[in-house]
Homo-oligomer: A and B are copies of this chain.
Amino acid sequence: MAVPPVIALDVMGGDGGPAVVVAAAEIAHERYPKLTYRLYGDEAAIRGQLGRAPRVAANATIVHSPDVILGTDKPSAAVRRARTTSMGMGIAAVKAGEAQAMVSAGNTGALMAMAKLTLRTMPGIDRPALAALLPTLKNDSVVLDLGANVECDTENLVQFAVMGAAFARTVLGVERPRVALLNIGEEELKGTEELKLAAALLRAADLPMTFAGFVEGDKIGAGDIDVIVTDGFTGNVALKTAEGTGRLVSGLLAQSFRSSWLTSLGYLLSRGALRALARHLDPNAHNGAVFLGLNGLVVKSHGGATVRGMAHAIGVAHDLVAGDIARRIASDLDNFREHRPVVAANDGHDATAA
């Protein structure tokens, strides 16, 4: 990037509000000193935080927005308030080219609806997808879609694979990501027709990725696959089930440690190890889901993100802009369309089995 990236921040979004967002912007600026910000929200509330954030104060334009989207607002109602809300005005800044990306910890449904309506999908993309980072035994993996699309066809899945691979190259720095389709078995004949055809296309296509076929849910955590592609329903359930299982195991572990004085002592001595585990799995360390496939970048932070979590989300936005993800996706899609392979769902495989 020749021009230092400008990031628009929805300062009013998330449980922590301006205090968390401005403090996070300060940390992100220490990491990426060329960043500049456009801060959208209540001007007085923002100014009240700048005393503790000298880097932000020196590198931000404040744009007062009189209204705020709440967590309880319905998406259909929220889009009508795009012009007056911090969320809507931040997205509009991306559309106008005043910012290269926008970060919000606000209402997910409203953010998705506003972003789609304002920015529209990229040429060659039928539907945008929500992609996020997931902790594994090795490096983080990218998972998409996480709920933007309840039902997906073959073309959607192929486009998600292209976008997810570009995400992994840009944010995770993996030169040739391993990409797989989430399925209920690794054999070629498992799953829906859409999945089988998407697998055949990705296997035959010449894309900057290594297509690894199908992956099952129990292999995600091993971290051998960089990009896991699935429809929004399955992806959302898988991500939340993983979160819930993490909480289940922590809860059971806490119960177990309290069961005797010996295990309580063991707990005291092991606290360092348990803290390291908690840090590795902490959603804040992986915070920043991205709406991919729009004419402009929008990053969604967890509503309950800490300062550190919000700073990570701003870092994801920075990396996407610095890595020029939009150009990568566009060029990969062009290339795919020009040399589109002609395949059948079971190309090269035994079609006689059940």
Give residues in A with beta carbon < 8 Å to B.
Answer: 74-77, 109, 113, 135-137, 147, 150-151, 182, 184, 191-192, 216-222, 230, 232-234, 236-253, 256-257, 259-260, 262-263, 265-274, 276-277, 280-281, 352-354
Contacts and interface: CB of A to CB of B under 8 A. Distances in A.
Given A245-B241, A246-B245, A248-B221, A273 B281 contact: no
A259 B271 CA distance: 12
Given A237-B184, A259-B276, A246 B247 contact: no
A15 B188 CA distance: 24
Contact of A272 (B147, B238, B263, B276): B263
Contacts of A276: 256, 259
A134 to B, nearest CB: 10
Contacts of A147: 184
B249 A249 contact: yes
B238 A237 contact: yes
Given A113-B354, A259-B276, A265-B269, 20 more contacts: A74-B353, A74-B354, A75-B353, A76-B353, A135-B248, A137-B251, A137-B252, A150-B191, A182-B237, A184-B233, A191-B233, A216-B240, A222-B244, A222-B248, A241-B242, A253-B274, A256-B270, A256-B277, A263-B269, A269-B269
A239 B217 contact: yes
Contacts of A262: 269, 272
B270 A243 contact: no
Nearest to A280: B252
A273 B257 contact: yes
A75 B354 contact: yes
Contacts of A75: 353-354
A218 B243 contact: yes
A238 B217 contact: yes
Contacts of A216: 237, 240
A87 to B, nearest CB: 15
A95 to B, nearest CB: 20
Contacts of A137: 248, 251-252
A263 B274 CA distance: 9
Contact of A266 (B74, B238, B251, B266): B266
A10 B74 CA distance: 55
A265 B160 CA distance: 47
A190 B77 CA distance: 16
- Of residues A74, A75, A221, A260, which shows the largest number of chain B Cβ atoms within 10 Å of its Cβ? A221
A77 B350 CA distance: 13
Contacts of A250: 249
A197 B245 CA distance: 29
20 contacts: A136-B248, A150-B184, A150-B192, A216-B240, A217-B236, A218-B244, A219-B244, A222-B248, A230-B237, A241-B241, A242-B245, A246-B249, A249-B250, A252-B280, A256-B276, A259-B276, A260-B272, A265-B269, A266-B269, A269-B269
